[in-house]
Amino acid sequence: VAMPVIADHFSKNRLNEINLLYKQISNRQLYICLLLFALIWSSIDEIYHFVPNREIYQAGKWVVFYIALGKLFDVAFSVNSEILVFSKFYRSNLILT
């Protein structure tokens, strides 16, 4: 949803609005994901209670934690690649991805 808005702001050279949009999207996504992470992690043992053969899968509890932590970092830097695609630094995004 943000890509057309970012492209429009770049075409009109409104870098301040891109900065504001980036901060708003990042903050809102981070707050929602932190809430979801806290809810899931606080009840991870209860979630495993409903899984068949839970003794096997409970060993992966920390895997869930580290994947969720990685996703939190991904969400914190939400639309970086979209902003780079429409900027003059699109080549660096191409190389990095």
pLDDT tens-place string over residues 20-79: 998 998 899 999 999 999 999 999 989 888 888 888 888 888 999 999 999 998 888 878
pLDDT surpasses 80 at 97? no
Residue 53 to residue 69: CA distance in whole angstroms: 25
Predicted pLDDT of residue 79: 83
Residue 6's closest CA among 20, 18, 19?
Answer: 18
pTM of the entire structure? Answer: 0.72
Q: Euclidean distance between the first and final Cα of the chain, in Å?
A: 21
